[in-house]
Amino acid sequence: MHPTPYEEIEHTADWALRVRGVTLESLFEHAAQGMLSLLEPGYLDSSPTGRSLELSAIDLETLLVSWLEELLFLIETEKIGFQNYAIRIEGTSLEASFESVPIESIKKDIKAVTYNELEIVHDQEGYRTTIVFDV
């Protein structure tokens, strides 16, 4: 059985997501899906468009923060959501392609993706981490 891809865990003031993935790529995909679900986007009835991006960072945690920040920036400035991710991670570099879907609005705001106690752990079940978002 696959583990739950992401779940919100209690935090007094901000949002915290526990994310799991069998592979590193699926961890990054589930983190993106989890973050998007927190924002509660309302999608427009419009055809998706193909997008891609490349990132590299000093370590995997920074790569994860950069990946989510990149998506947040696109949500805010281009008003788009995402689906059908294809992610490839080599070392601490990422290549991602995905479909962007126009959104009418998002109900919630995330100020930032934080490094608070951020650690990507690899165990027998795959990869897991907890991400705290400043809201």
Partner 1 sequence: MVEKSDLIRIDDYRWEIPTSYRDDMRVPVQIFASDALIDQALDDKSMQQAVNASTLPGLVERVVVMPDVHQGYGFPIGGVAASRYPDGIISPGAIGYDINCGVRLLASRIAFEEARQWMDDLASALYANCPSGVGVGGSVRLTVKQLEKVCREGAEWALNNGYARREDLERTEEQGRIDGGQPGKVSTRAKQRGKEQLGTLGAGNHFIEVDVVDKIFNPEAAEAMRLQEGMLALQIHCGSRGFGHQICSDYVKDFQSAVKKYGITLPDRELVCAPLDSPEGKDYLSAMACAANFAFCNRQVLAHHARRSFEQVLAGKVPDWDLTQVYDIAHNMGKMEDHQVGGETVRVCVHRKGATRAFGPGFEGLPETYRPLGQPVLVPGSMGTASWVLTGTQRSMEQSFGSSCHGAGRVMSRSQAKREVWGQDLREQLEEQGIAIRAGSMPGLAEEAPKAYKDVDEVIEVVTNAGIAEKVARLRPVAVIKG
Provide the minimum distance between the beta carbon of 55 and partner 1 in the complex, in angstroms, as a whole number: 12
The smaller minimum CB distance to partner 1, of residues 6 and 26, is found at 6
Q: How far is the CB of 74 from partner 1 (least distance, A)?
A: 11
* Closer by beta carbon to partner 1, 88 or else 108: 108
Closest CB 98 distance from partner 1, rounded Å: 20
C-beta separation of 72 from 110 below 8 A? yes
Residues of this chain that interact with partner 1 (CB under 8 A) are 8, 10-15, 58-59, 61-62, 65-66, 69, 73, 76-77, 79, 105-109, 111-118, 132, 134-135
Minimum distance between the CB of residue 12 and partner 1, rounded to whole angstroms?
4
- Centre a 10 Å sphere on the Cβ of residue 59 and count the other Cβ atoms it contains: 11
Q: Which residues contact 68 (CB under 8 A, 6 or more apart)?
A: 31, 32, 35, 113, 131
3-state SS assignment for residue 9: strand
Nearer to partner 1, 44 or 86 (CB): 44
What is the enclosing helix (H) or strand (E) of 81? strand 80-90
- Whether the CB-CB separation of 58 and 120 falls below 8 Å is answered with no
